[in-house]
Chains A and B, each alone.
Chain A
Amino acid sequence: MDLGNLFVMFITFTLINNVILNQFLGICPFMGVSKKSSSAIGMGAAVTFVIVAASLVTYALYYAVLEPLSLQYMDLITFILVIASLVQLVEMIIKKLSPALYKALGVYLPLITTNCVVLNVTLNNISEGYNFAEMLTYAIAIPVGFTLVLYIFSTIRERLDICSVPKAFAGNPIALIVAGIMALAFSGLAGLV
């Protein structure tokens, strides 16, 4: 596979097949940490690190350990444990480096463990039969798309705070309508590739 195809794959998974707006993964942090744009960036960075690291570790584990021993059915349990320990690591690093960011992310940081994006990427790496280069492109493209949409969404929500909305729609429901309109806008990018 040449570089051109990898580039097309990158664009496909960041913009067209966007992980939040098209595949509906990672909606919990999307709703939870999108109230301020600075924490959106921090969350995006943390998720990116966890996804790339988890992909490398689980890819190696699957092909070096599980497959030779024909233990493929243990994939789910192995992967989730790898992800849980990586999240613990990231939590310790962020706590040490930036206590302010640690506070802003709050409960959503340990919840990266149960972020469907991470588990989805590691499972798809295997089920789609990606080779190493494709796996790496996929593992970078997905969180980049996640961060991009999370950032755009958080900037819209900052403005939404000062608007007056019907009482029943205040908070999350109106944010979901915004997400719907964003999904409509992103579906216009489908002709890109």
Chain B
Amino acid sequence: MNRKENFTAGFIRENPVFGLYLGLCSTLAITTTLNNAIGMGVAVILVLVMSNIIISCLRKVTPSEIRIPVYIVVIATLVKIIQMLIKAYAPALDSALGVFIPLIVVNCIILGRAEAFASKNGVFDSALDGLGMGLGYTVSIIVMSALRQILATGMLTFENPFNVEQSIFAFRLIPEDYVISMFSQPVGAFITFALLAGALAAYKNHQTAKEEKKEAAAKAALKEAK
């Protein structure tokens, strides 16, 4: 697998959220507004890239019996640093995301990439893998949060996380009388997620069916030629 494939794997083929069902807790909980999703996405990318780099650096000196505790300590330290930074510079984001910032420690994507990729590959590749997977996660939660926010409030808004007063954009897509407030509640989270996961599965099924057809056609052509 070359570097480009490795980097783009996280978007569709191995999408961590809708394809592999990793990091579901935070995905379902914080996708109520676009603001939360972007804040969470950036925090996860930072932790994932740095943890992949550190774990990849340490891969030759870590005894394999205690590798999981080592990974967890590295990840917990990084998350604590990010949590303190968010608390200091973006307090509004801190109160909106609440306990889900410290819970990045137990986000399966991060430990999963440490175990599956960073512990076996070089530093640069691991950083790239972390960035790709992190972006895949971020894009997924941004899509889901935009859908939920539009359906639940009819608006799409984004504020500067460092200064709550300053709105970057805010526009209305659905008139106030026609919004479905259910989508900001837990029910909406599960159902939106199921629909998106179903859509991705349908797309993948379609791709494989197409490939099979192509192969069958190639085989038939080969037979005829004979």
Q: Which residues of A contact B (CB under 8 A)?
A: 21-28, 31, 73, 76-77, 80-81, 84, 110-111, 113-116, 119-120, 123-124, 127, 166-170, 172-174, 176-177, 179-181, 183-184, 187
Contact = CB atoms under 8 A, between A and B. Distances in A.
B85 to A, nearest CB: 12
B187 A180 contact: yes
Contacts of B186: 21-22, 24, 180, 183, 187
A80 B78 CA distance: 13
A168 B201 contact: yes
Given A119-B103, A123-B102, A187-B185, A177 B190 contact: yes
B25 A28 contact: yes
B72 A84 contact: yes
Contact of A179 (B111, B190, B202): B190
Interface centre among B186, B191, B195, B201 (most CB of A within 10 A): B186
Given A168-B201, A180-B190, A27 B105 contact: no
B76 A24 contact: no
Contacts, number: 117
Interface residues of B, number: 41
Contacts of B106: 80, 113-116, 119
Given A76-B105, A77-B76, A172-B197, A84 B68 contact: yes
A172 B19 CA distance: 10
Provide the main secondary structure of the chain A interface: helix
Contacts of A115: 106
Contacts of A84: 68-69, 72
B190 A80 contact: no
21 contacts: A24-B26, A24-B186, A28-B24, A31-B21, A73-B80, A77-B77, A81-B69, A81-B72, A84-B68, A113-B72, A113-B106, A114-B106, A114-B107, A116-B106, A120-B99, A173-B195, A176-B194, A180-B186, A180-B194, A183-B186, A187-B187
Contacts of A28: 21-22, 24-25, 108
A77 B73 contact: yes
A183 B102 contact: no
Contacts of B26: 24
B199 interface: yes
B73 A81 contact: yes
B205 A168 contact: yes
B25 A167 contact: no
Leading 6 A-B pairs by shortest Cβ distance: A180-B190, A168-B202, A176-B194, A27-B24, A24-B29, A24-B28
A150 to B, nearest CB: 14
